[in-house]
Amino acid sequence: MHLFTSKFIDLPEQVTEMPGSITTPAGYSAAGIAAGIKASGKEDLGMLVSSSPCVSSTLFTTNAAAAAPVCVCRDERQPGGMRGVVVNSGSANAATGERGMEDARRMAALAASAAGTDEGEMAVASTGVIGVPLPMDLIEAGIARSAEGLSENGGGDFARAIQTTDRIEKQGAVAVELSGGTVHIGACAKGAGMIAPAMATMLCFITTDAVMGADQLEVMLKDAAGVSFNAISVDGDMSTNDSVFLFANGASGVAVDEGSADRQLFSRALAAVCRGLAMKMVADGEGATKTIELKVTGAQTAEEAAKVAAAVATSSLVRTAFYGRDANWGRLIASAGAALAGGPALKASVAFEDVLLAKDGQASGDVPDGDRLQRIMESPEIAVELALHRGSEECTIYFSDLTHDYVTLNAEYTT
């Protein structure tokens, strides 16, 4: 399994992909077991712990119906001081009221106790069906077994334990050659499909053994999310459980100094890892057959660029056209025009890869070589540019096509 399979990702030359996981950086152990929460009997409970204290950074959904574990981590933990996490799949512990809050606190406390950390150092996350209380007896027994199984090779098991409808494995690791030596970043995620508007859940866990400051970590994580997870969730619309956790335990002894070239390089490496995971999510899009990179240019404001990008990327007509391999630029323009409703007449241009299909709001007249266009439409990754010619702001997002399998999966599966 390779993390960087998308043509939309640039990897700096000092960054080397390696087979690995969240336990590839030094000083982390993890486990993943089948606790019986999922009816399928698959892995559904995971734990990750650093053997030494960490600095940490987190990102949570802004959903007003945020799940209990999100509320606990967000409101009752020091964001920079966590060194481990316990997570279950099969049940989201969302829309579960005060009982859900108590269950989330207890789940974290059990994990902290079993792993020998302070309670305040243990984060908690859940994913799965909404509105059903956690089966705490299974969780309790599962945490005890997980803690016994914690291992420096447990990252892969952990990654399996967080999956629900995922069909593609989403984990990997990189080595980063800094001036003071080599550090590692490991990560895994769950999440499939157009996160918004489908409200699927994404969880992501990232570890590093670099020596970092908490403030530094926070800025880097925000930057990385902006070009990865937030570039696929389109407009900040997030599910009840979306969470990203980043831990840095300093076990390599190699520091990443503020303002240094190392700082820039590490930031690029972190962004590449997040983009690798985000591209897997899009490609694993529930039922997806292709990934589209949509670059909206020439907007009057950044907000306008984001609004148009979101409208196009979430248009069912646009997404089914890509599934049908139909280079239907008219649907992109109609969707952009709707996003800009009430404004001056839109005269947009549309290019699929290097083929300019529309110019000044109408067919470009350059009849493209039919074979060339067909080859583009059949490729698994397509770069599309929609130029609004109204200003100089832009926004790039990634989305998948809308397919028969998406409908099957979501009509038959209760999430």
End-to-end CA distance of the chain: 27
> How far apart are the C-alpha atoms of 301 and 306, rounded to whole Å?
9
Beta carbon nearer to a copy of itself, 151 or 408: 408
Residue 201: active-site member? yes
Given the complex with a copy of itself, which of 216 and 239 has the nearer CB atom?
A: 239
CB burial of 80-110 (b: ≥16 within 10 Å; e: otherwise) equals bebbbbbbbbbbbbbebeeebbbbbbbbbeb
Nearer to a copy of itself, 180 or 197 (CB): 197
Q: How near is the Cβ of 68 to a copy of itself at its closest, in Å?
A: 10
Place of tokens 């030359």: 13
222 CB-near residues (< 8 Å, 6+ apart): 59
CB of 392 to a copy of itself, least distance (A): 18
Helices marked H in 199-236 = 214-226, 229-232
Name the DSSP class of 203.
E
Closest contact distance (angstroms) between CB of 287 and a copy of itself is 9
Catalytic residue among 127, 164, 201, 403: 201
CB of 412 to a copy of itself, least distance (A): 6
Q: Is 172 helix (H, G, I), strand (E, B) or coil?
A: strand
Q: Which is nearer to a copy of itself, 79 or 180 (CB)?
A: 79
CB atoms within 10 A of CB 375: 11
55 three-state secondary structure: strand
- Which residue, 40 or 414, has its beta carbon nearer to a copy of itself? 414
Say which residue the tokens 């407009």 belong to. Answer: 235
* C-alpha–C-alpha distance, residues 199 and 192, integer Å: 10
For a copy of itself, the closer of residues 6 and 314 by Cβ is 314
Element (H, E) at 31: strand 28-33
Cα separation, 43 vs 40, in Å, equals 9
Q: SS3 of 223, please?
A: helix
Kindly compute the dihedral angle of the four CA atoms of residues 51, 53, 55, 58, in this order, to the nearest 10 degrees. 60
**DSSP class of residue 346?**
P
Q: Nearer Cβ to a copy of itself, position 38 or 268?
A: 38
Count Cα atoms within 13 angstroms, Cβ side, for 319: 27
Q: Minimum CB separation from a copy of itself for residue 290, in Å?
A: 12
CB 399 to a copy of itself: min, Å: 12
Question: Cβ of residue 339: shortest distance to a copy of itself, in angstroms?
Answer: 8
Q: Is 9 exposed, middle or buried (0-12, 13-18, 19+ CB in 10 A)?
A: middle
Catalytic residues: 201
